[in-house]
Structure 1
Amino acid sequence: MHAVQLHAFGPPENLRYEEVPDPVPGAGQVRIAVEAAGVHLVDTTLRAGKYEGGPMPAPELPTIPGREVAGTVDALGDGTDPAWLGRRVVAHLGMVPGGYAGAAVTDAARLHALPDGLDAAAAVAMIGTGRTTVGILRLAELRAADTVVVLAAAGGIGTLVVQYARQLGATVVGAAGGAEKTERVRSLGAGLAVDYGRPEWTREVRDFLGGAGATVVLDSVGGGLARAAVGLLAPGGRHLVYGWSSGEPLRFADSELAERGITSRVVVGPALQKFTGTPEGMRALETEALEAAADGRLRPAVQRFPLADAAGAHRALESRATMGKVVLIP
């Protein structure tokens, strides 16, 4: 089969599209003929050799990156339920890489049957990014009365958050970079879509809100953009953090939160352990995310790249040139 391998940590060009032996499922495992494989921002950090302090170990080289796949089960290991053979499935591989390939092996316990009407790429988006979004939204406890500012609103999580908040009845402001992304956010139902690359974007938000402040900022960017967004919060507002793609989280002076009457909370990592601390809890998030996509409540945005162009996918993701979940197609 063909796969993308990393032989040395470094730039995207180190990802090589090569012929490798087909994987063989062990006891209790299946092999999936991959139709779509997810690319996560953490994949780029692992590839560069800069991942430190997170839950995943640095991979041993050479490695085939990727942990989210969808496709058809084409081989079974000893003791695996024969009913899985030939079924279309989606799975998160966990801490074990191997997704950027024509076939991948995983434990049968990780499989979800692909819901009717949900294509492989959308399923891949929901099994990883979707499950994280469901957990974030549980912790965020958004209400219909909220006015929500979503940073990176055209991203994989951002597009799902905008849809959820809008369906809830909240007032939604989606901020993204560039005209194409803001148009995408507008199409998702945001009351206002703004380009946060424009210096006057916060004034546009204030004008839209008629002088009232936001009640929630959902922040995956950090840095100066997060600082500007937090400036839009009314007293009592909440700053909820689920990433810092700028490279640094927003930091507050000791007295700033109390003086402004706002709160700031990270809703990923240890906070999500409330839901992800057990396999059962993780699987419940995955099931909820897949069902929400299958019945049309949440529509994941997907940007496809050929498997052979995994390096291009990494470059686009690192330069913030993507919209939605990045998916490789063998």
Structure 2
Amino acid sequence: MHAIRLHAFGPAENLGYAEVPNPEPGPGQVRIAVAAAGVHLIDTTIRKGLAMGPIPLPELPTIPGREIAGIVDAIGSVADERWLGRGVVAHIGQAPGGYAEYVVTEVERLQEIPAELDPATAVAMIGTGRTTMGILQFADISPDSVAVVLAAAGGIGTLLVQYLKNAGATVIGLAGGPEKVDLVSRNGADLAVDYLLPDWPDRVRTEYGDRPATLLFDGVGGGISRTAITLLAKGGHWLTYGFAAGPTGITEAELTDLGITPVATLGPKMYERAGGLRALEDRALAEAAAGRLVPGLHRFPLAQAAAAHRALESRATTGKVVLIP
């Protein structure tokens, strides 16, 4: 089979397209002929050789990737034979291997792809979708809510905008550049703003100064987040799920003075509250199958994984980045 191999930590150019032996399923495992593989920002961090919390650095050489969808084409001993030939999607956990034409994983990780979804959409929902569902459980959303979504054209941002609108909230989506801003508008945001323009906070205040934000969904960090926090009303909630642009530098004392409650959504408390990761996956796939959530997809051929990493790191992508073998 063909796969993407990383022989040394470093730049995206270290990702090579190579021919390697097909993996074989062991007891309780299946092999999946991959139709789509998800690319996560964490993949780019690990590629550089930087550890990500509980995710250890893999031994080299390695095949990156943890989100895959395709057809079960072989099963190991003990595994239920009824999976053979089924379309499935899986988050394969801490063990990498997703950037490949074939992947082996445990049966308990499998989710059957709903008939309404294609493999790329299913991949977006098994990772990015389940995280979005996990974030949302920390937010009290009503028609009175005014929500600011940072990186609103990204994988999580796209789903947040759609979900919040479906719940009746007023949504202000921030994105970088006119093309992304247009996409945020098409996804249903009441106001889409280009945060690359220096006067973007003034535009938000001009439109919604009489209704300051009650919720801030933030996976960005840095100066943009620090400015966005000032848009929150007293009593507002700042829900964080990443700091791609670095720390905001805001202190607990400043937040107290502003009357803002910070809510860190990632980590064990996310899936413990939901009843487990499986429950979040179920909810994400169901929302997509019902047509209530439509993930944005940015596809690359598997052989162009290095280009996909560069595009993701430079914020040149929209929606979920997916590799197609």
The alignment's C-alpha RMSD in Å is 1.1
Paired residues of 1:302 and 1:326 also in contact (CA < 8 A): yes
2:7 is the counterpart of 1:7? yes
Identical-residue share of aligned pairs (%): 60
Equivalent pair of 2:3/2:63 in contact (CA under 8 Å):
yes
1:65-104 paired onto structure 2 within 5 Å: 65-104=64-103
- Matched to 2:179, the amino acid is E
Gaps of 5+ in 1: none
Q: TM-score, normalised by structure 1?
A: 0.96
Q: Secondary structure at the match of 1:139?
A: coil
CA shift for structure 1 position 210: 3.9
Tell me if the contact between 2:12 and 2:47 (Cα under 8 Å) persists in the aligned partners: yes
The secondary structure found in structure 2 opposite 1:218 is strand
Q: Deviations over 1:225-272 (max 9, x none)?
A: 0011011111111111111110x2223234212221111121112431
Letter in 2 for 1:282: L
Counterpart Cα distance in 2 of 1:40 and 1:254: 30
Q: Whole-Å Cα distance in 2 between the matches of residues 273 and 328 of structure 1?
A: 27
Q: Distance between the aligned counterparts of 2:167 and 2:105, measured in 1?
A: 36
Return structure 1 stretches of 4+ with deviation > 4 angstroms.
Answer: none
Residues in 2 aligned to 1:79 and 1:222: alpha-carbon distance in whole angstroms: 46
Whether the aligned pair in 1 keeps the contact of 2:25 and 2:104 (CA below 8 Å) is yes
Give the Cα–Cα distance (whole angstroms) in 2 for the partners of residues 141 and 251 of structure 1.
Answer: 26
Q: Does 1:251 align with 2:249?
A: yes
**Letter of the 2:251 counterpart:** A
8 A Cα contact 2:216 2:232, kept in partner? yes
Mapped to 2, the partners of 1:55 and 1:100 lie a distance apart of 21
Residue type at the aligned position of 1:31? R
TM-score, normalization: structure 2? Answer: 0.98
Where 1:144 maps in the other structure, the secondary structure is coil
Give structure 2 stretches of 5+ with no counterpart: none
- Matched AA of 1:182: V
The answer as to whether partners of 2:134 and 2:271 remain within 8 angstroms in 1 is no
Distance, in Å, in 2 between the alignment partners of 1:329 and 1:162 is 26
Change (3 A) 1:130 1:254: closer
Partner of 1:264: 262
Q: Quote the residue 1:123 is aligned against.
A: 122
In 2, are the aligned partners of 1:220 and 1:241 still within 8 Å (CA)? yes
1:306 to 297, 301, 305: 301
Aligned pairs for 1:1-330 (under 5 A) are 1-52=1-52, 54-246=53-245, 248-275=246-273, 281-330=276-325
Question: How many equivalent pairs are there?
Answer: 325
Q: What SS does the corresponding residue of 2:157 show, helix, strand or coil?
A: helix
Greater CA drift, 203-212 or 111-120: 203-212
Deviation at 1:68, TM superposition (A): 0.5
Amino acid at match of 2:77: D
Residues 243 and 249 of structure 1 are in contact (CA less than 8 Å); yes or no, is this contact kept in structure 2? no
SS in 2 for 1:166: helix
C-alpha distance in 2 between matches for 1:87 and 1:22: 19
- Counterpart CA distance in 1 for 2:50 and 2:277 is 26
The alpha carbon displacement at 1:8 in A equals: 0.4
